[in-house]
């Protein structure tokens, strides 16, 4: 019998009514002839409330104790879900991370999964039970409770689907899938039916925050089909998979906007080994999160220009560190940008289609939007524009690749 993993997020479990809805969904899937493993997040704003409780006790809670505290949220959810499934006349059992043998390292609040003991879950499934697993949590080798950090319940769900060789991992959430662009910015954006892991990873890191990158990476590694869908409707959502149908023909899958980006540029750095390493290890040591790095060489080949971007929130710190680095390299000039926007188009089809960049630049030019920087990877083209141009730029990109019309086909 095939196994289906269904993960329910906090908004999908916010009250007793929604818990019953989630339970009924699992029961229906079971009656369709599958074995069901549910993974639950903490109800609604439970985690926030627990964090606030800790904040009233101390300003610097030990990470181990935060894990002890926060893991209770998911435990409450799974117990209530089991009760709701019993109420619907089916057998169910709730299990904590410790009880399913979700072994992690000891990096409290951001632990990495080391292994999962699928045998215990399988034995409950064989007895006809719906198994309900507390997401987000595990135990380390010394049996301390750990948590997996942001997006942890998604990670639990995908990891379980991999360990159990499930046919699919369904992620129930408060949106009905992944969109070609943010509908609040691009009114013509539409739901993507299927997207590859690589595209989704780029979309996630570029700000289409439906799922955390980590769970998508895990899905890619173990080839787990992931279905992101709404817990409030029965319409299909977005399939994340290795080979979406028509993959070769689709050039661009989506267009994203990241507003409030700051850029720092070093002009005139010596073009010699170790200079970039020096610059970026300094930034890394200060724990500044770099988005993009763009480097060009001067005409005589002796100097390079290196730009990097960070989120606007980290602007102050990044600029301070950049100034220090600049002082250490005589002849180097550091320039700081106004607030910028980054617009990107993503699609694995780019690998085999030429002219994608040109089409993007033409669309931006037609809209009289100036492009400040350009960087590309194999499946992404990103440009930096003035902040004020960001929304128009992503709309132009969305239109240029026909994303509103259907599958983002080449014309």
Interacting residues with a second copy (CB under 8 A): 15-16, 19-20, 50, 53-54, 56-58, 61-62, 64-66, 68-69, 71-72, 75-76, 78-80, 82-84, 86-87, 93-94, 96, 98-99, 143-145
Please give the full DSSP string across 207-265, using - where no structure is assigned. T-TTS-HHHHHHHHHHT--EEEEESS--S--EEEESS-TTTTTBS--EEEEEEEEEEEE
State in angstroms the smallest separation of the CB of 53 from a second copy. 7
State in angstroms the smallest separation of the CB of 183 from a second copy. 34
φ/ψ of 246, rounded to 5, equals 70, 25
φ/ψ of 17, rounded to 5, equals -60, -45
Task: Give burial (CB, 10 Å; 0-12/13-18/19+) of 29.
Answer: middle
The smaller minimum CB distance to a second copy, of residues 56 and 368, is found at 56
The smaller minimum CB distance to a second copy, of residues 99 and 376, is found at 99
State in angstroms the smallest separation of the CB of 80 from a second copy. 5
State in angstroms the smallest separation of the CB of 41 from a second copy. 15
Cα 209 to Cα 367: distance, rounded to the nearest angstrom: 27
State in angstroms the smallest separation of the CB of 76 from a second copy. 5
Q: How many residues does the chain have?
A: 411
Nearest Cα to Cα of residue 45 among 79, 80, 73: 73
The smaller minimum CB distance to a second copy, of residues 54 and 404, is found at 54
State in angstroms the smallest separation of the CB of 234 from a second copy. 23
The smaller minimum CB distance to a second copy, of residues 89 and 330, is found at 89
The smaller minimum CB distance to a second copy, of residues 95 and 148, is found at 95
CA dist 274 → 262, 269, 270, 277 (Å): 25, 11, 10, 5
The smaller minimum CB distance to a second copy, of residues 93 and 343, is found at 93
Nearest Cα to Cα of residue 47 among 100, 80, 6, 10: 10
The smaller minimum CB distance to a second copy, of residues 142 and 300, is found at 142
Cβ atoms 312, 261 nearer than 8 A? yes
Task: Give burial (CB, 10 Å; 0-12/13-18/19+) of 191.
Answer: middle
The smaller minimum CB distance to a second copy, of residues 79 and 387, is found at 79
State in angstroms the smallest separation of the CB of 69 from a second copy. 4
Cβ atoms 134, 94 nearer than 8 A? yes
The smaller minimum CB distance to a second copy, of residues 71 and 238, is found at 71
Cα 7 to Cα 5: distance, rounded to the nearest angstrom: 7
15: Cβ–Cβ under 8 A, 6 or more apart, which residues? 43, 44
State in angstroms the smallest separation of the CB of 115 from a second copy. 17
State in angstroms the smallest separation of the CB of 233 from a second copy. 23
Nearest Cα to Cα of residue 97 among 37, 139, 35, 140: 139
CA dist 347 → 173, 292, 381, 394 (Å): 24, 18, 9, 15
State in angstroms the smallest separation of the CB of 232 from a second copy. 19
The smaller minimum CB distance to a second copy, of residues 131 and 239, is found at 131
Nearest Cα to Cα of residue 323 among 364, 366, 264: 264
């Amino acid at each position: 019998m095939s196994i289906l993993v269904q993960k329910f997020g906090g908004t999908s479990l916010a009250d007793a009514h929604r818990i019953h809805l989630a339970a009924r969904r699992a029961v229906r899937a079971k009656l369709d002839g599958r074995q069901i493993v549910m993974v639950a997040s903490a109800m609604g704003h439970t985690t926030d409330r627990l964090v606030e409780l800790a904040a009233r006790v101390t300003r610097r809670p030990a990470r181990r104790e935060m894990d002890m505290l926060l893991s209770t949220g998911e435990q409450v959810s799974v117990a209530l879900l089991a009760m709701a499934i019993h109420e619907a006349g089916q057998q169910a059992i709730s299990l904590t991370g410790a009880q399913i043998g979700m072994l992690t390292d000891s990096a409290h609040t951001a632990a990495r999964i080391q292994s999962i003991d699928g045998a215990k879950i399988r034995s409950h499934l064989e007895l006809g039970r719906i198994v309900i697993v507390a997401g987000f949590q595990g135990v380390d080798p010394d049996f301390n409770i750990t948590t997996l950090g942001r997006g942890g319940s998604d990670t639990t769900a995908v990891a379980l689907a991999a360990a159990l060789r499930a046919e699919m991992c369904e992620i129930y959430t408060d949106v009905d899938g992944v969109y070609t662009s943010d509908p609040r910015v691009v009114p013509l954006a539409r739901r993507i039916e299927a997207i590859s892991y690589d595209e989704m990873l780029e979309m996630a890191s570029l700000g289409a925050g439906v799922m955390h990158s980590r769970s998508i990476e895990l899905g890619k590694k173990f080839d787990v089909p992931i279905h992101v869908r709404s817990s409030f409707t029965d319409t299909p959502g977005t399939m994340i998979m290795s080979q979406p149908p028509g993959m070769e023909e689709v050039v661009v899958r989506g267009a994203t906007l990241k507003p409030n980006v700051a850029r720092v540029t070093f002009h005139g750095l010596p073009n010699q080994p170790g200079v970039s390493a020096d610059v970026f290890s300094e930034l890394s040591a200060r724990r500044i999160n770099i988005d993009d790095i763009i480097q060009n060489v001067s005409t005589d080949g002796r100097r390079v220009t290196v730009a990097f971007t960070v989120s606007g929130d980290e602007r102050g710190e990044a600029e301070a560190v950049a100034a220090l680095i600049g002082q250490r390299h005589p002849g180097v000039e550091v320039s700081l940008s106004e607030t910028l926007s980054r617009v990107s188009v993503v699609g694995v089809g780019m690998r085999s289609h030429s002219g994608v960049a040109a089409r993007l630049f033409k669309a931006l030019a037609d809209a009289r939007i100036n492009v400040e920087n350009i960087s590309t990877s194999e499946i992404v083209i990103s440009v930096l524009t003035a902040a004020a141009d960001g929304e128009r730029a992503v709309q132009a990109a969305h239109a240029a690749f026909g994303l509103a019309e259907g599958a983002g086909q080449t014309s």
